[in-house]
Amino acid sequence: MRVFKFGGASVKDAKGVKNVLNVLEKTGFSNLIIVISAMGKTTNALERIVELYVKNSKELNISLQDLEVYHNEILETLFENKQHTVFKKIEGLLLDMQTTLNRNKSTQYDYIYDQIVPYGELISTTIVSEYLNHKGYQNTWLDARDFIKTDTAYRDAEVDWQTTQHQILEKVDKNSLSITQGFIGSDKNNFTTTLGREGSDYTAGILAYCLGADSVSIWKDVPGVLNADPRVFDKTQLLSHISYEEAIELAFYGASVIHPKTIQPLQRKEIPLYVKSFLNPVDQGTSVKKGQPLDPHLPCYIVKRNQILVSLSSLDFSFIVENNISEIFSFFHQYHIKVDLIQNSAISFSVCLDDKFNHFEKLLGKLKAKFRVTYNTNVSLFTIRHFTNEAITSLEKNKDILLKQITRETYQMVSRD
């Protein structure tokens, strides 16, 4: 049993959907479940729709129409017969989304988000499933909400592993070809939940763990895991082999190729992970397995944009001690704000924060009531795993550095954008 995951870039248009078939023809169709993300930038478009809905903006209908046009263009290229049932299915999903918006009574943004944004995955998987059937490759379309069961922490739900495993083993046929959605699940009341932005990799890891899969393959628009993001850094190199531990470290610091939660369930059962190019499916790519040394052993560069650097000190210039730090972190937990770097001295405490749910303004009020606060928004956090002096010198060139920190294997720096 294998698990494949195709991201949005791999199915951004009709050519991409056709290429999924090309990959499968080279790798095999049997004993396979495929996890698929929303097409192209659909998740961004749906997030925009949620924002417009919450603001009661007149632009909402235009955005809904744009979403329909985008997917219909893909459909019309893939299916010559405009009477094919897939057209009605996609029309039905779009109508269902509109009905959900019309009937919604909640004012909770995260809840609304989770009821609307997952339509991207429901639409993309329907199109891919129907296209494969159209080409003679019979498959079963599965609704991930029927088996990925979670709590009610909308936009960042925690998996109920016991119930999820039971449902997966009951609903997934290991001996056939199945298509399902990444990123989404449902709570005990069957309201849709999501596993966090870019969570489709995590879905693949959950399925692999629960099914005892032989492997997971993540298909990307890059040759595999590189030592840096080629959109940011020049002369990147492929990492052919890395360990689970190294993959977790890279993901934690913000490497975008693998979702941070993906590795842990695979590591528990020692299920190998392969990161490969959907453009060159027979190429080796990167393997992630137990105990593999980093090969080649290179500095690995990671950058996270749109961070917030916060420095706190006590109002009376007393020491920042354990009980203060405990209180600060309880605030971070309360407002779902991720801490990416910590540095402290006797009377100050600095953190680099990732405010992915836009709760910083609420947090700021709490902090100012207790501490003297200074902060910088829109900063960048750079990380070098396995740094060298040459790598540090090169990275720091022409940067306005606000904070830096070095440990045995990792260098980090915060700079103004």
Indicate the annotated binding residues for substrate: 43, 121
Residues 6+ apart with CB under 8 A from 416: 376, 378, 379, 380, 399, 400, 402
- Feature table: binding site: 5-8, 43, 121, 231
CA-based nearest residue to 211, from 170, 158, 159: 170
- Feature table: binding site for ATP: 5-8, 231
- Please compute, for residue 124, the number of CA atoms within 13 A of its CA located in the half-sphere on the CB side: 34
CA-based nearest residue to 299, from 406, 403, 198, 201: 406
Cα dist. 220→88, 251, 281, 298 in Å?
30, 16, 10, 21
H-run or E-run covering 285:
none
Cα dist. 299→99, 224, 245, 250, 389 in Å?
51, 16, 16, 11, 10
Quote the tokens at residue 125.
């998987």
Q: How far apart are CA 240 and CA 217, in angstroms?
A: 14
Quote the tokens at residue 215.
């492997």
CA-based nearest residue to 164, from 174, 172, 156, 173: 172
Residues 6+ apart with CB under 8 A from 52: 59, 60, 63
